[in-house]
């Protein structure tokens, strides 16, 4: 379940808003593109978590960052295994490109922060991203994925996404 959680978390980045807009206009992504989005999103959240693990001043924020690194690393391993099994080559796309670019911008913003300012900005971003990914996964990804195993994986990940969101919200409250 931990691995599935990270797959879902990976999908939570702001580029899902781009996907939602594109899909709303009739543009759908393929399973190969969804696989690449998952891997890219996990990589972005791992980098965010690594920065938070180094810079966070609050122990709960550091523990959350450690959880994100561990969970997303596990999900990437699982995603890589699934795409090999399904003989799918992840395909770069506008969503994954935007995801990577947005992730780099977020890292640049967070790098200039420290202490409580960093902790709050990191956790606020995690709450926002998890809300977005849950919505996009529910309304766009799951309904459009073609492969049943990939669809099952996305569905199994949802409770993990909710758990990450609730964990981040709890920390967010304590940082006020």
84-92: average pLDDT: 85
6 vs 70: CA distance, rounded Å: 8
Q: Over the Cα atoms of the chain, what is R_g?
A: 15
Per-position DSSP letters for 120-133, written without gaps between them? HHHHHHHHHHHHHH
Question: What confidence tens digit (pLDDT) does each residue in 12-51 have?
Answer: 444 444 444 444 444 577 888 888 877 887 888 899 999 9
Angstrom CA distances, 101 to 21, 92, 96, 139, 162, stand at 18, 13, 9, 24, 25
pLDDT score, position 9: 43
CATH code of residue 42: 1.20.1260.10
4 vs 109: CA distance, rounded Å: 28
Question: What confidence tens digit (pLDDT) does each residue in 42-62 have?
Answer: 888 899 999 999 999 999 999
How many domains, the chain?
1
pLDDT score, position 12: 40
**Percent of the chain clearing pLDDT 90 (strictly above):** 33
138-152: average pLDDT: 84
174 vs 176: CA distance, rounded Å: 6
Query: pLDDT-derived band of residue 4, with 50, 70 and 90 as boundaries?
Result: very low
Look up the domain containing 68 and give its range.
Answer: 2-174
Alpha carbon 29 to its chain centroid, in Å, reads 17
Phi and psi, residue 55, nearest 5°: -100, -20
Average pLDDT over all residues of the chain: 81
């Amino acid at each position: 379940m931990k691995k599935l959680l990270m797959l879902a978390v990976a999908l939570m980045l702001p580029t899902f808003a781009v996907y939602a807009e594109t899909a709303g206009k009739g543009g759908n992504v393929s399973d190969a593109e969804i696989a690449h989005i998952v891997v890219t999103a996990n990589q972005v959240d791992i980098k965010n978590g690594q920065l938070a693990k180094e810079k966070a001043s609050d122990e709960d924020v550091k523990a959350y960052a450690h959880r994100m690194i561990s969970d997303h690393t596990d999900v990437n391993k699982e995603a890589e295994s699934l795409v090999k099994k399904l003989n799918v080559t992840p395909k770069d796309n506008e969503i994954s490109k935007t995801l990577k670019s947005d992730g780099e911008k977020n890292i640049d913003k967070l790098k200039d922060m420290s202490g409580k300012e960093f902790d709050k900005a990191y956790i606020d971003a995690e709450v926002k991203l998890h809300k977005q990914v849950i919505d996009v996964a529910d309304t766009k990804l799951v309904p459009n994925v073609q492969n049943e195993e990939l669809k099952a994986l996305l569905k199994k990940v949802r409770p993990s996404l909710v758990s990450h969101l609730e964990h981040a919200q709890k920390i967010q409250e304590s940082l006020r």
